[in-house]
Amino acid sequence: MTTNADGSGGQAPPKSRTHYLYIAVIVAVLAGIAVGLAAPDFATRLAFLGEAFIALIKMMIQPVIFVTIVIGVGSVASAARVGKVGGLALGYFLTMSTVALAIGLVVGNLLKPGEGLELDEELASAGREQAGEEESTTDFVLGIVPDSLFSALTSGEVLQTLLVALLVGFALQAMGRSGEPVLVVFGHLQKVVFRVLAMVMWAAPVGAFGAIAGVVGETGVDALKSLAVIMVGFYLTCFLFVFVVLGALLKLFAGVNILKLLRYLGREFLLIVSTSSSETALPRLIAKMEHAGVDKPTVGVVVPTGYSFNLDGTAIYLTMASLFIAEALGDPLSIGEQVSLLLFMIIASKGAAGVSGAGLATLAGGLSSHRPELLDGVGLIVGIDRFMSEARALTNFAGNAVATVLVGHWTGGLDRDRLDRVLGGDEPFDETTMIDDHEPVETGGNAPAEERLTSPAG
């Protein structure tokens, strides 16, 4: 297309600026580590900078999800397609979570990282504090329903936003042609939301500096030595899960090289490392998956749902941490107890969000319900949970990216030619607008409705 050549010239300045922005993030992370080691007391007082940046990103998550899903669902001619995408996605999420939990159990039994450790009173009290944060399955299900239609946009609960957005999207879908003007408005609103997000991203270096400095200043290096085995084992397990399990699935079913996909999402991984939260990259994942050729309905359903139901890294963490705690307390789990715990964690892991620290609360809740006598041992994990949360977040993010491509491929919602061009670097992502206006792939006669939306909005 001739617009590629023109577009490349027009995008050069913003691409250059964002390149320097992410170099600044790397420098900020290194500076944060240095300050944390040199002046830990001062560094801990800088943690609010990271918290403020994460708050800014979380402020944008629900608007991004809402407008994306409304546009994606509302522009599809048949509700059956959305149902097919959602059903296939949930089945995939359940399968992969079970696989991740099983892998965590196998590696945990091989490493036995908790042997030889002792639990002191300070760590025990920390574990008991975490137990107060547990959430029952009933509370989780009821929490999906918002207090009102509009409170879903301000509640901070992703699944509430997902529910309301789906209802609004189906309503616009049922309206037919009379709903098209509303979809055009949502198209323009999406551009505004992503432009605000692009502005917020310029605070990333400051947020990364404060977050890393605060963690290193509070925890220190010495505190990690006695727990290095479980950390290294956990990181290695996540690495193998992403590149062996997910990589094989992606290559076998979609013919896509996972290294190319992860390289395309490199800036998002850097953002996650600097904040220890996969939610900070959620809006960008939505934008980049659409740019890569996955259609709007698939992205709108799979990505937000995956952030609550496809937590592969959290699943690995839950089983490895449970074995670690049991061994550290001198009360290792039998094979039967491990299988029972795995089945329980399949459900418990669905209540963990992609926010830093949520996995620790889920671990405490799971142990409290299944093996209460192990609850005090959660305190053993507190000191390194923040560092482990980075691997959890990276694995969760990679799992959701792979899931989006696979579900799109299985449901006919993936433009494979465009995906190859994007992953090959021929069609770079527009960092300035984060909005893509390429022609959608035709899937079962849905293209005309999407084209009517795309043209006026962009």
- H/E element holding 4? helix 2-38
CA distances from 346 to 181, 236, 262, 264 (A): 43, 22, 26, 30
Residue with tokens 């979570």: 97
- 257 lies in which domain range? 2-457
List the structure tokens of 117: 């450790």
Q: CATH number of the domain that 57 lies in?
A: 1.10.3860.10
Angle formed at CA 61 by CA 170 and CA 276, multiple of 5 degrees: 140
* Per-residue confidence band for 400, with pLDDT thresholds at 50, 70 and 90: very high
- pLDDT tens for 244-296 read 999 999 999 999 999 999 999 988 888 888 776 777 788 889 889 999 999 88
Instruction: Return the SS3 of 73.
Output: helix
| pLDDT recorded at residue 297 | 83
Determine the Cα–Cα distance for residues 243 and 309; give it in Å rounded to an integer: 21
Give the confidence band of 101 by pLDDT, cuts at 50, 70, 90: confident
pLDDT digits (tens, 9 = 90+) for 312-321: 888 888 888 8
Specify whether the CB–CB gap between 43 and 214 falls below 8 A.
yes
Picking from 21-25, 65-69, 200-204, 444-448, which range would have the lowest pLDDT averaged per residue? 444-448
What pLDDT is attached to residue 241? 93
As a whole number of angstroms, the distance between CA 299 and CA 416 comes to 15
Residues 6+ apart with CB under 8 A from 126: 378, 379, 382
The pLDDT of residue 129 is above 70:
no
Q: What is d(CA 357, CA 361) in angstroms, rounded to the nearest whole number? A: 7
Average pLDDT for residues 372-383, to the nearest whole number? 64
* Total of domains in the chain: 1
Round the average pLDDT of the chain to a whole number and report it.
Answer: 74
